[in-house]
Amino acid sequence: MAGAFEGRHVVVTGGCGALGSAVASALLEHGAIVHIPALNQEEADRCPLRTGANLDIAPNINLADEQQVEAFFTDLPALWASVHVAGGFAMAPIARTSLKDFRAQMDMNLVTCFLCCREAVKKMRAGGADGGRIVNVAAKPALAAVGGMAAYSCAKAGVAALTQALAEELRDEGMWVNAVVPSIMDTRANRRAMPDADHEKWPKLDEVARTIVFLASPENRVTRGALVPVYGRS
């Protein structure tokens, strides 16, 4: 798949995080021009990737703010793909989950995904390209019940439903919409939080990134509406 993205513009939300930076790095290796919206300058400065000829990090973009997301996508060149990694995790028993907490999970995971999907579609149409690709990130608890994660599970289940609804809506335009569904991934943060777990069973970031990159590529000619498990052995 070397060079599959040559000259193609791709958005990666959450591109300064662990999975997002792995996705952005893989895309850059395949020739993509990558655009990463960052919440603020501090997040942009912490990004493990550095801006260059094929990488643009735009700070001060709140992906839950409709006007800011509209402005970010409007300013982009013609867009081939949009990968939506941005999100957030929280867990608590239902009796200790406030409405504010519930809405925060919806905003971080589902609202950001919805707004970016909508604006990506508009941008792809405006560019006159033949098709395009959208890849979202759901989560295993959206499909397999886990206690103590009601708010997070509902938000990620919304991402899964949005993915499949858009896949049907956009199929005749050649815009393939899919989602990966990770289990616990092998990140430094997760290892610190669960030091006694069997980390070798967790999917690795580069492995999940490769799956996302294929789904976002022009070489993906037939897969749409898929919720692709990336569980490893976990």
Q: What is the pLDDT of residue 52?
A: 80
Q: What is the pTM of this model?
A: 0.95
* Three-state secondary structure call for residue 174: coil
Q: What is the pLDDT of residue 214?
A: 98
pLDDT along the chain (234 residues), means of 10: 87 96 96 97 92 91 98 97 96 96 98 98 87 96 91 97 98 97 83 81 89 97 97 84
The CATH code belonging to domain 9-230 is: 3.40.50.720
Domain residue limits, the chain? 9-230
Contacts within 8 Å (CB) and 24+ apart, 40-44: 43/16, 44/16
CA gap 208, 220 in Å, rounded: 16
Q: What is the pLDDT of residue 129?
A: 66
Q: What is the pLDDT of residue 109?
A: 98
Interior CA angle at 225 toward 224 and 230, to 5°?
95
Which two structure tokens, joined as six digits, stand for 17?
A: 């995080």
Closest C-alpha to 83, from 194, 8, 158, 189: 8
Please report, as a single letter, which amino acid is at residue 59. P
